[in-house]
Amino acid sequence: MFEKILIANRGEIALRIHRACREMGISTVVVHSTADANGMAVRFADESVCIGPPSARESYLNVPAILSAAAITGADAIHPGIGFLAENASFAQMVEEHGFAFIGPTAEHIRIMGDKISAKSAVTAAGLPVVPGSEGAITDFEDAQSLADTVGYPVLIKAASGGGGRGMRVSRGPDDLKDAFDEARSEARSAFGDDAVYMEKYLEKPRHIEVQIIADQHGNCVHLGERDCSVQRRHQKVIEEAPSPSLSADEREYIGNLAAKTARELGYRGVGTMEFLYEDGNFYFIEMNTRLQVEHPITEMITGVDLVREQIRVAAGLPLSFRQEDIVFQGHSIECRVNAENSETFAPCPGTITNLHVPGGLGVRIDSPIYAGYKIPPHYDSLLAKLIVHGANRDECLMRLKRALEEFVVEGVDTTLPLHHRLVREPEFIRGDYNIHWLERVLADRKS
């Protein structure tokens, strides 16, 4: 097992990884920018190294600085966390070339899954259903036109290198196809430096269902059930729950086993998430994330598995500590992402937290690096805290979530807590009757 792990990330995920290491008796090195010198993970870590100024390009994306920090502190492995370099294949490769273990999949798997076109063709070959659409990139508008006629409107133009919901445009008919095509390409070019786009049928009422898998380096792969992440704003997840209120036990087993089988056939290692859209009883693969997900705690709550610990174990070459038949789903879990944003306009609200009270009690978990007096830097994403609740069933989970939200006090900055208070009271949410377009509709109704 590793003796020292360097955590190449910040915020709540750096803290989450540090916690797993601590419980495993592994020392931690947390790297940070000058803006994060007072971060909670930095304070708790055994060692910390400042790797650059606030700009992520010069710190959390600064590969030479991170590798040097690992070398001078004598770390054996690097955990990339979520975001920043977590899905950067050349970083994974460089980490290994410099003699450190990369806590994640091989550079080759990151590369295949990082390009959504190659990801779709890899999983199709393994038997996963995908959204109907183009088989590869579309470069000519004429090709886009004839394909859209075949697939049938509405269609979605998506960036091959896309992420975070960017580089995506819907076209409802031939009249707006040109605009959607051009806009998706130019957004993809400026956001990802790659203007390759592809086309998918735009589904009108799907749910976003994703399957958590974990594979060791001995050919074992287990799925840990699904998460329903359909409550989204601008294609970004806001609330997640596990299990999905819409799947039957048979559907859960079917898609879980299929995802695990696919990962096994691809020779995948580490944690990964296969994302699907689910409509009218059918699953359509959309992408695979080759890293931990922000919403991984809800899976931990219903399975009792520490995903980060298991991820570290398989990276060290140990076999999975459980088999598929050992995984038993217990109860229900919901996560609310609490952001430092205005809950009406969603404008980011960095600043100082003047007063803080976090909820507690049975079945309540907070993954967050904040404390009273903490100054939220303006340079990074606005995730402040993940409120994760577990109950014996969905009703109990919802009651507990409402209660926990009432106890949550953050003063000094705007947060999205008021939005969550409202959403957990929406009758459709309570019934579990929502799809990926639901939240946008709720927000639009509020404005009108």
Look at the block and give the residue holding tokens 């960095």.
Answer: 350
CA angle 57, 94, 219 (to 5 degrees): 120
Q: Does 198 bind ligand ADP (CB under 6 A)?
A: no
Judged by CB under 6 A, the stretch of 51-59, 162-170, 316-324, 363-371 that binds ligand ADP is 162-170
The total number of residues shown for the chain amounts to 448
Q: At what angle do helices 141-151 and 174-192 cross, to 10 degrees?
A: 120
Q: Residue from 148, 286, 288, 366 that binds ligand ADP (CB under 6 A)?
A: 286
235 binds ligand ADP per the rule CB under 6 A: yes
How wide is the angle at C-alpha 444 spanned by C-alphas 437 and 405, nearest 5°? 80
The residue from 16, 111, 252, 291 that is catalytic is: 291
Q: Which is nearer to ligand ADP, 216 or 287 (CB)?
A: 287
CB 279, min distance to ligand ADP, A: 9
Does 303 engage in binding with ligand ADP (CB under 6 A)?
no
243 binds ligand ADP (CB under 6 A): no
Q: Report the interhelical angle of 307-315 vs 11-24 (nearest 10°).
A: 70
Q: How far is the CB of 357 from ligand ADP (least distance, A)?
A: 33
Residue type, 178: K
**Alpha carbon distance 436, 168 (integer Å):** 15
- What binding mask, one character per residue, do residues 128-147 give for ligand ADP by CB under 6 A, x or -? ---x----------------
Q: In the complex, what is the shortest distance from the CB of residue 348 to ligand ADP, in angstroms, rounded to a whole number? A: 19
Cβ 80 vs Cβ 60: under 8 Å: no
CA 314, CA 300: separation in Å to the nearest integer? 17
Query: For ligand ADP, which residue of 87, 287, 300, 310 counts as binding (CB under 6 A)?
Result: 287
Least Å distance, CB 48 to ligand ADP, is: 31
Q: Which residue from 74, 136, 152, 164 is in contact with ligand ADP, where contact means CB under 6 A? A: 164
Q: Should residue 185 be labelled a site residue for ligand ADP when binding is judged by CB under 6 A?
A: no
Choose the stretch contacting ligand ADP; rule: CB under 6 A; options: 139-147, 159-167, 190-198, 328-336: 159-167
- The minimum distance between CB 227 and ligand ADP, in angstroms, equals 12
CB of 199 to ligand ADP, least distance (A): 9
Q: Does 261 bind ligand ADP (CB under 6 A)?
A: no
How many CB atoms are closer than 10 A to CB 361?
A: 10
Taking the least distance from each CB to ligand ADP, the nearer of 200 and 341 is 200
Q: Does 360 bind ligand ADP (CB under 6 A)?
A: no
| CB neighbours of residue 121 within 10 Å | 14
Does 188 interact with ligand ADP (rule: CB under 6 A)? no
Nearer to ligand ADP, 200 or 310 (CB): 200
Closer residue to ligand ADP (CB): 206 or 391: 206
Minimum distance from residue 115 beta carbon to ligand ADP (Å)? 11
From the list 216, 228, 275, 341, which residue makes contact with ligand ADP (rule: CB under 6 A)?
Answer: 275
Residue 36 binds to ligand ADP (criterion: CB under 6 A): no
User: Is residue 359 a contact point for ligand ADP (CB under 6 A)?
Assistant: no
Phi-psi region of 373 (alpha: psi -120 to 50; beta: other; left: phi over 0): left
Nearby residues of 49 by Cβ (< 8 Å), 6 or more positions away: 29, 30, 31, 32, 69, 72, 73
Q: Which one of 104-112, 161-169, 172-180, 415-423 is the stretch in contact with ligand ADP (CB under 6 A)?
A: 161-169
- When asked if residue 232 is in the footprint of ligand ADP (CB under 6 A), the reply is yes
What is the Cα–Cα distance from 227 to 213, expressed in whole angstroms? 12
The verdict on whether 291 is a catalytic residue reads: yes
Instruction: Considering only CA atoms, give the Rg of the chain.
Output: 21
Residue 22 near ligand ADP by CB under 6 A = no
Around 222, how many Cα atoms within 13 Å sit in the side-chain half-sphere?
20
Query: By CB under 6 A, how many residues form the interface with ligand ADP?
Result: 19
202 lines the binding site for ligand ADP (CB under 6 A): yes
Beta-strand runs (E) in 1-88: 4-7, 27-33, 47-52, 77-79
Q: Are 153 and 222 in contact (CB under 8 A)?
A: no
DSSP 234-300: TTEEEEEEES-TT--HHHHHHHHHHHHHHHHHHT--EEEEEEEEEETTEEEEEEEE-S--TTHHHHH
377-436 positions binding ligand ADP, by CB under 6 A: 436
123 counts as binding ligand ADP under rule CB under 6 A: no
CA neighbor of 110 nearest in space, from 264, 269, 236, 258: 269
Cβ burial of 349 (10 Å; 0-12, 13-18, 19+) is buried
- When binding is defined by CB under 6 A, the residue of 163, 331, 348, 432 that contacts ligand ADP is 163
- In sequence order, the β-bridge partners of residue 215 are 221, 270
Catalytic residue positions, numbered: 291
**Positions in the binding site for ligand ADP (CB under 6 A):** 131, 156, 162-165, 200-203, 206, 208, 232, 235, 275, 277, 286-287, 436
